[in-house]
């Protein structure tokens, strides 16, 4: 399996991780902090030397990798129906953004400004960081003539912190979508290349186990 194919699968998993997090937080108001942090990390990785550097490591995208694997390899679409819909919406927003250079410049500038302020906050998942990313989403991607309709528990969706997390996570998803496109990703490829994608996901799942074993050894 080539590095390009596994890199592309990792970026696509980043989209699905964001979509799955949106599905979870909109229903329960809660999401695993480590996956939220990994997704937020990706949105500030504007000049990575390697694709994996966008996410820190492969294991940080475990949620997205497993969701995508369930959908592609096992056709488990019913369980992840909303996540699939959000992923499609994220790809559509990225396509519109890609055609608007001015908006791209504004988005990058806002992210760079926010990144310079991170030292003032206690971690990437601090509520102020989430709020800033949500504002960036509204001010930039929110101006596009397309809206992702998020479904879930109405009580959860009325919470300001949940609404901010949804917007921030969608912004992270668009970051992964941009990376996926840059690596040659396309909808036609998704339709015709399921076998190759499954093999790439198998490779990523194997490397996650290696990452986990390495971390365990380092703690002893």
Per-residue pLDDT tens over the stretch 80-120:
999 999 999 999 999 999 999 999 999 999 999 999 999 99
Q: Quick one: how far is CA 135 from the chain centroid? A: 17
pLDDT tens-digit readout, 135-180: 999 999 999 999 999 999 999 999 999 999 999 999 999 999 999 9
Using 50, 70 and 90 to split pLDDT, how confident is the model at 1? low
CA 99/CA 123 separation, integer angstroms: 33
Residue 219's pLDDT band (cuts 50, 70, 90): very low
pLDDT higher than threshold 50 for residue 11: yes
| C-beta separation of 181 from 11 below 8 A | no
Please say whether the dihedral angle defined by the alpha carbons of residues 49, 54, 57 and 61, taken in this order, is positive or negative: negative
Region 113-137: mean pLDDT is 95
CA distance 166 to 172: 10
- Give this prediction's pTM: 0.93
CA distance 59 to 54: 12
Q: Residue 214 pLDDT more than 50?
A: no
Domains (range + CATH), the chain:
3-219 (1.10.3890.10)
Instruction: Compute the average pLDDT of residues 69-76.
Output: 93
């Amino acid at each position: 399996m080539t590095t390009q194919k596994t890199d592309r699968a990792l970026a696509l998993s980043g989209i699905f991780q964001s979509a799955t997090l949106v599905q979870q937080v909109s229903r329960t108001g809660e999401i695993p902090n480590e996956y939220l942090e990994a997704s937020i990390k990706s949105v500030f990785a504007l000049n990575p030397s390697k694709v994996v550097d966008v996410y820190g490591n492969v294991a940080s995208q475990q949620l997205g990798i497993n969701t995508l694997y369930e959908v592609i390899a096992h056709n488990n679409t019913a369980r992840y129906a909303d996540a699939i819909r959000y992923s499609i919406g994220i790809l559509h927003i990225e396509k519109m953004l890609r055609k608007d250079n001015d908006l791209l410049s504004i988005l990058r500038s806002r992210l760079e400004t926010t990144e310079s302020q991170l030292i003032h906050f206690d971690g990437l998942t601090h509520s102020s960081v989430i709020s800033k990313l949500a504002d960036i989403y509204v001010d930039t991607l929110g101006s596009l003539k397309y809206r992702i309709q998020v479904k879930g528990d109405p009580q959860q969706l009325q919470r300001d912190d949940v609404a901010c997390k949804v917007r921030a996570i969608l912004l992270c998803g668009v970051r992964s979508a941009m990376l996926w496109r840059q690596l040659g990703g396309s909808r036609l490829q998704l339709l015709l290349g399921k076998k190759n994608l499954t093999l790439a996901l198998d490779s990523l799942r194997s490397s996650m186990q290696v990452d986990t074993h390495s971390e365990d050894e380092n703690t002893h």
